[in-house]
């Protein structure tokens, strides 16, 4: 595989797990029906939105890749078209723009991912590696150099640490190309230090689905300021969250028993067609572009940790946004559901962190907006 092929694949994986629409049963889209969790249901509400169709360019999004909160409680929206981290305060007012597309210092020629560390630094992945910016937007240089296959899914963990997911394709000892994959926390020198998950297998250009499922589609990951990392396998059979301490030691595993839900035939067709067309439009080469969706919906499709150290696991078995919420000790606390979104919630991605809650749709009907949310008192 040419380096650009894997590099481009990495940019696509986050959105790849979305299913299509389609006819589904009431029971499938109401996962709390018949569950003991239904005894304690709380409501998430949308309190505000950021984003307009036309007007002030600071509020018009090109393509939102991800959102997160900084230690200042500002919301950071990473726009891949602009190559920028757009910063907004708690009232949704524009604060500043960090970076932009371009070839100069501090400009991103191929922006891919972003996060904000607990010390306020903004980290953006692009060609050249992971680039660092001060809290006020000054370019600080390259934190970790990667000219091929840069790390993806950047994640803040601990007081100032960075974790990421990375895939590499390189020649093996027997002459066959090997795929190496890891989820790791970086050292201060920009090298992978604590490794939480890893895999290695022979590269097969005809097995695109397997490669995605064993790498960028393998886990949902979240972190907290105390240095704990939360890892959930993207499985259609297993509802599980592993909790690691700052040294990478497994301290607890949360498991629960929820029924599997099959995708409709229309969901599978739409997911397959959407994924393959997306890969083709992005110019992916070096692999056979044939994606075979899992016929079952995955158990967990989003993961977050709030200010009370509660763990939010989104139920991937529901098209509508529904979360199972657990204590750090593993006790199920309540089920939370987002009102007013419906099945379109299947396309939503969430940021549930200590400083707030936000979400956006990867497939909006008109134009992209970022929604601020809060949990109603229970």
Please write the tens of the pLDDT for every residue from 299-318: 999 999 999 999 999 999 99
Residues with Cβ < 8 Å from 91, sequence gap 6 or more? 48
What's the confidence (pLDDT) of residue 281? 64
168, two tokens: 């590499």
The enclosing domain of 329 has a CATH number of 2.120.10.30
Instruction: Give the whole-angstrom CA distance, residue 245 versus residue 227.
Output: 6
Q: What are phi and psi of 36, to 5 degrees?
A: -65, -25
Instruction: Give the whole-angstrom CA distance, residue 337 versus residue 323.
Output: 6
Q: What are phi and psi of 145, to 5 degrees?
A: -85, 130
Instruction: Please state the three-class secondary structure of 223-252 as a single string.
Output: ECCCCCEEEEECCCCCEEEEEECCCCCEEE
Q: What percent of the chain has pLDDT over 90?
A: 66
Q: Compute the mean pLDDT over every residue in the chain, rounded to the nearest whole number.
A: 87
Instruction: Give the whole-angstrom CA distance, residue 71 versus residue 230.
Output: 19
Residues with Cβ < 8 Å from 156, sequence gap 6 or more? 68, 115, 116, 117, 118, 162, 163, 223
* 208 — pLDDT class (breaks 50, 70, 90): confident
What's the confidence (pLDDT) of residue 284? 66
Place of tokens 């003991």: 36
Q: What percent of the chain has pLDDT over 70?
A: 87
Q: Which helix (H) or strand (E) holds 176?
A: none
Domain span including residue 70:
3-375
* 178 — pLDDT class (breaks 50, 70, 90): very high
pLDDT higher than threshold 80 for residue 85: yes
pLDDT higher than threshold 90 for residue 197: yes
* 136 — pLDDT class (breaks 50, 70, 90): very high
Residues with Cβ < 8 Å from 244, sequence gap 6 or more? 196, 228, 229, 230, 231, 250, 251
DSSP assignment of 308-363, as one string? T--EEEEETT-SS-EEEEE-TTS-EEEEEEETT-GGGGGGEEEEEETTEEEEEESS
* 163 — pLDDT class (breaks 50, 70, 90): very high
Give pLDDT tens digits for 270-289: 888 877 876 676 666 667 78
Residue 88, CB-side half-sphere exposure with 13 Å CA sphere: 25
pLDDT higher than threshold 80 for residue 161: yes
Q: How many domains does the chain have?
A: 1
Q: 376 versus 31: which is more confidently predicted?
A: 376
Give pLDDT tens digits for 57-71: 999 999 999 999 999
Q: Tell whether the torsion through CA atoms of 203, 209, 215 and 218 is positive or negative.
A: negative
What's the confidence (pLDDT) of residue 172? 79
Query: Looking at 1-10, 25-34, 246-255, which range is the least confident one?
Result: 1-10
């Amino acid at each position: 595989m040419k380096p650009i092929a894997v590099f481009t694949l990495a940019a696509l994986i986050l959105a790849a797990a979305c299913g299509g629409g389609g006819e589904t049963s009431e029971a499938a889209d109401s996962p709390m029906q018949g569950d003991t969790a239904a005894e304690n249901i709380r409501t998430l509400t949308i309190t505000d939105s950021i984003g307009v169709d036309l007007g002030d360019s600071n509020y018009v999004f090109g393509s939102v890749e991800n959102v997160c909160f900084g230690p200042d409680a500002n919301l950071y929206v990473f726009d891949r078209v602009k190559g920028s981290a757009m910063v907004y305060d708690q009232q949704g007012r524009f604060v500043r723009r960090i970076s932009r597309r371009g070839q100069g210092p501090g400009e991103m020629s191929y922006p891919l991912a972003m996060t904000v560390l607990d010390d306020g630094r903004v980290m953006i992945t692009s060609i050249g590696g992971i680039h660092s910016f001060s809290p006020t937007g000054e370019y600080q240089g390259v934190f970790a150099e990667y000219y091929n296959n840069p790390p993806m899914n950047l994640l803040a963990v601990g007081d100032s640490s960075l974790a990421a997911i990375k895939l590499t394709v390189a020649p093996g000892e027997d002459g066959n190309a090997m795929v190496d994959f890891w989820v790791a926390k970086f050292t201060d020198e920009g090298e992978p230090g604590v490794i939480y998950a890893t895999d290695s297998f022979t590269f097969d250009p005809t097995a695109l689905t397997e490669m995605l499922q064993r790498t960028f589609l393998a886990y949902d990951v979240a972190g907290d300021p105390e240095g704990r990392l939360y890892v959930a396998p993207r499985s259609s059979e297993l509802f599980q969250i592993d909790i690691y301490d700052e040294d990478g030691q497994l301290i607890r595993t949360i498991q629960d028993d929820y029924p599997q839900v099959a995708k409709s035939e229309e969901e599978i067709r739409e997911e397959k067609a959407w994924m393959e067309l997306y890969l083709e439009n992005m110019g992916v080469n070096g692999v056979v572009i044939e994606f075979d969706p899992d016929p079952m919906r995955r158990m967990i499709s989003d993961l977050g940790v709030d200010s009370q150290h509660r763990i939010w696991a989104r139920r991937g078995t529901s098209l509508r946004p529904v979360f199972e919420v657990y204590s750090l000790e593993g006790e199920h606390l309540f089920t939370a559901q987002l009102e007013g979104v419906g099945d379109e919630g299947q396309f939503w991605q969430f940021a549930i962190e200590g400083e707030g809650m936000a979400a956006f749709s990867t497939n909006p009907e008109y134009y992209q907006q970022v929604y601020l949310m809060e949990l109603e008192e229970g």
